[in-house]
């Protein structure tokens, strides 16, 4: 199977959760460019931002057209 198969992209994986595109817009697999890969538990991130604790959990952010070897096709 080709690595360039469009069916194996993040937007088509059951572990990918799209993020909203702007204020007041609902997340959409068809429209959202970015999303969160929730295949594995969130990793600990380190932040210097005042509104975060020093360590906080975060899901990996991916683009809708990214892909990986752990793809799990979602049911349509």
Task: Give the Cα separation of 53 and 31 in Å (integer).
Answer: 32
pLDDT given for residue 52 in this prediction: 64
Domain extent for 13 = 6-63
* Count of domains observed in the chain: 1
Task: Kindly state whether residue 41 falls inside one of the protein's structural domains.
Answer: yes
Q: What is the DSSP string of 8-65?
A: GSGGGBTTEEEPPSSTTPPP-TTT-SEEEE-SSPPEEEE---TTS-SEEEEPEEEETT
Checking if the pLDDT of 2 tops 60, the result is no
pLDDT given for residue 55 in this prediction: 76
Task: Kindly state whether residue 44 falls inside one of the protein's structural domains.
Answer: yes
From the number of C-beta atoms within 10 Å of its C-beta (0-12, 13-18, 19+), residue 23 rates as exposed
Query: pTM for the full model?
Result: 0.70
Q: Give residue 70's pLDDT band: very low, low, confident or very high (50, 70, 90).
A: confident
Task: Kindly state whether residue 48 falls inside one of the protein's structural domains.
Answer: yes
Task: Kindly state whether residue 11 falls inside one of the protein's structural domains.
Answer: yes
pLDDT given for residue 1 in this prediction: 45
Maximum alpha-carbon separation in the chain: 47
Task: Kindly state whether residue 16 falls inside one of the protein's structural domains.
Answer: yes
Q: Give residue 57's pLDDT band: very low, low, confident or very high (50, 70, 90).
A: confident
């Amino acid at each position: 199977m080709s690595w360039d198969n469009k069916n194996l992209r993040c937007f088509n994986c059951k572990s990918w959760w799209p993020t909203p595109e702007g204020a007041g817009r609902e997340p959409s697999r068809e429209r959202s460019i970015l999303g969160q890969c929730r295949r594995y538990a969130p990793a600990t991130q380190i932040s210097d931002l005042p509104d975060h604790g020093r360590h906080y959990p975060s899901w990996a952010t991916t683009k809708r057209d990214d892909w990986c070897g752990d793809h799990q096709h979602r049911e349509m």
